[in-house]
Amino acid sequence: MNHHHQPRPLTAAIKRSLPTLAAGMSCLGLSVGLVSAAQADWPEDPIEIVVPFDAGGSADRMARGLAEHMSPRLDVPISVVNRPGGAGALGATYFQQQAADGQTLLVMQATPYLASAIEVGGAPVEWDDFQLLSAQWNDYGIVAVHNDSPYQSLAELVESMREPGEVSSGIIVGNGGHLQTLVMMDALDIEHDNVRFVTYSGGAPLRAALAGNQVDFEILAAEAALSISDEVRALAVVNDEPSDNWDAPLFNDEMHGLGIDPLPLIGGNVTGLIAHASLQEEYPERYERLIQVYQETLESDEFQAWASDAGIGADWVSPEESQELVDEGYRAVQQYAPLLQ
């Protein structure tokens, strides 16, 4: 037998609580509305993107592309300021000295340049104070020589590296290519002084040196090096899988042929827009707005077309995944930074 229960009448206590409950719900709605309004209202002032290298390099070109395409979406001017020096250390330090309010952002290679600026360059900042918002461009490395180079394989290059002063290499001090070269030389029992390292202040002059046959070899970012692909060729791809753009064997396969166990692959770069790590907690509505606009920009047809023409990476990777990726790279730099001491 089914029993149909009649609704129970509201008790006096519940009746008395209804106005308070309604007021609470109203306040909650108002609070959500205020957060949404705050998110929509920000930013009101111009935004600055700091690039800690000279104009013309890949980080600079990425920053200027982001400024151009994010500015209309945020409805404020976005300027790019170059603050080169110390292989990225000066610009990274300047960025951390600015208020963590979202008005100042940073574009640089989180690994290895930011990691090296801290671990090698002694920048007075902490890795945990930076947050990579997207691993927009995860560029692997190549071991490259000029087309006129006599070296036809990595093994031939290594053989010459065993002769003091025989080989020169272009580097940015503490960058991935520099560290990768030192790791390789240590594994092969080759003295660091055997190679004549020629230092450059940014990616553009680094690539120009190799394209001009001014140095014997470089380990440099592969996709960035496509701009000089007519002048250089790869001896090895510093990656876990073959390259679509460079016809060369894998670096660790070549190392295996020389009797060396697999080495860490730190020759490439992970580049993207970086914020103060405290922004998410101190200004959550600004953080969410920034993430939203950054993702919309990267996934837009016009930015994808611009990035393709400019030879710049344009992948959207969540902040969590991006930070996990560069945290792993940072630990590798930590491990091998003493090689530069």
Pairing of strands 130-132, 78-82: unpaired
Rounded-to-integer distance, Cα 221 and Cα 175, Å = 10
How many C-beta atoms surround the C-beta of residue 219 within 10 A? Answer: 27
Residues of the chain with pLDDT under 50: 1-18, 20-22, 25, 31-35
What pLDDT is recorded for position 16?
Answer: 46
What pLDDT is recorded for position 1?
Answer: 41
Residues with Cβ < 8 Å from 21, sequence gap 6 or more?
A: none
> What does the pLDDT look like over 134-188, one tens digit per residue?
999 999 999 999 999 999 999 999 999 999 999 999 998 878 899 899 999 999 9
Q: How much is the pTM?
A: 0.75
Rounded-to-integer distance, Cα 286 and Cα 43, Å = 8
Question: Domains plus CATH for the chain?
Answer: 47-138+268-340 (3.40.190.150), 152-257 (3.40.190.10)
Rounded-to-integer distance, Cα 322 and Cα 187, Å = 30
Contact 102, 321 (CB under 8 A): no
What pLDDT is recorded for position 337?
Answer: 84
* Token pair belonging to 131: 């947050």
Rounded-to-integer distance, Cα 127 and Cα 119, Å = 9
What pLDDT is recorded for position 6?
Answer: 40
What pLDDT is recorded for position 18?
Answer: 44
Which of 194, 193, 183 has its CA nearest to residue 159? 194
Pairing of strands 78-82, 232-238: unpaired
What pLDDT is recorded for position 204?
Answer: 85
Rounded-to-integer distance, Cα 23 and Cα 289, Å = 29
* Token pair belonging to 218: 């470089």
Q: Which residue has the tokens 């660091």?
A: 192
Amino acid, single-letter form, for residue 118:
I
In angstroms, how far is CA 241 from the centroid of its own chain?
20
Rounded-to-integer distance, Cα 251 and Cα 164, Å = 23
Q: Is residue 130 within a helix (H) or strand (E), and if so which, with residue range? A: strand 130-132
Residue 146 backbone dihedrals phi, psi, to 5 degrees: -70, 155
Which SS3 state, helix, strand or coil, does residue 237 take? strand
Contact 43, 99 (CB under 8 A): no
Which of 83, 99, 128, 101 has its CA nearest to residue 44? 101
Ramachandran assignment for 75, one of left (phi > 0), alpha (psi -120 to 50 degrees), beta (any other): left
